[in-house]
Structure 1
Amino acid sequence: MNYFAVSYSYPADSEAIASIRPIHREFLGTLKDRGILVGSGPFLDQDGGALIVIRLPEGATVVEATELMDKDPFHTESALDGRSIRPWNPVLNVFN
């Protein structure tokens, strides 16, 4: 499996994020059901933002991870201030 760390930037008090969050979580739920989502959640400091970790089949690229995450309502509704998607190697993990 190839893992990707997806980092979202948005203000902690974003009204757009709050209003879209239910359908964003539905989207993530479908990824979880498909075995793609490893974990996700907001950062708890005052800076806002979130981290999502996904896994795709061996050989998957950042392009494929981006195409998948482009379907997230946070992205399609232009609610994010920024986003990065980077390949990640969980050397020590519990993600069997």
Structure 2
Amino acid sequence: MLFAFLCTDKPGHLNVRMETRPAHLEHLNKLNAEGTLKMAGPFLDDEGKPNGSLVIVEAADMEAARTIAEADPYYLAGLFEKVEVKPYNWVFNKPAE
């Protein structure tokens, strides 16, 4: 089942995001190599600077999805003000399997 992580950065924490980015990318690359990661990228503010994240993963259930979300270096560094984990149904423009 697919799950979407809707992550909102804490205000004034762009420095935490940038300092933690290499570890975050390593984490996402690992998930991608395992076939868990389906897509990911940052939300942008009016100035084009990242202020949150959208990550979509495949996981067995909500508990497994939350475990994945909470293992992200951004989460562990305290970057996020809020993380919502929601079941997701990819309907349009889904890549061919």
State the TM bucket, normalised to the shorter chain: 0.7 to 0.9
Question: Unmatched 5+ residue regions in structure 1?
Answer: none
Q: From the superposition, tell whether residues 15 and 95 of structure 1 become closer, same or farther in structure 2 (CA, over 3 Å).
A: farther
Residues 13 and 79 of structure 2 are in contact (CA less than 8 Å); yes or no, is this contact kept in structure 1? no
Alignment: residue pair count: 92
- The structure 1 segments of at least 4 consecutive aligned residues displaced by more than 2 Å after TM superposition are 44-47
Question: Unmatched 5+ residue regions in structure 2?
Answer: none
User: Under a length normalisation based on structure 2, what TM-score does the superposition of the two structures give?
Assistant: 0.84
Deviation at 1:95, TM superposition (A): 5.2
Q: Paired residue for 2:3?
A: 4
Q: Higher strand fraction: Structure 1 or Structure 2?
A: 2
Whole-angstrom distance in 2 between the partners of 1:26 and 1:95: 25
Deviation at 1:44, TM superposition (A): 2.8
Whole-angstrom distance in 2 between the partners of 1:23 and 1:13: 16
Give 1:26's aligned amino acid: E
Report the identity percentage. 27
RMSD: 1.8
Could you list the per-position Cα deviations for residues 44-90 of structure 1 after superposition, in whole angstroms to 9, with x for gaps in the alignment? 3337211011112xxx2111100122111111121111111100011
Q: Paired residue for 1:52?
A: 55
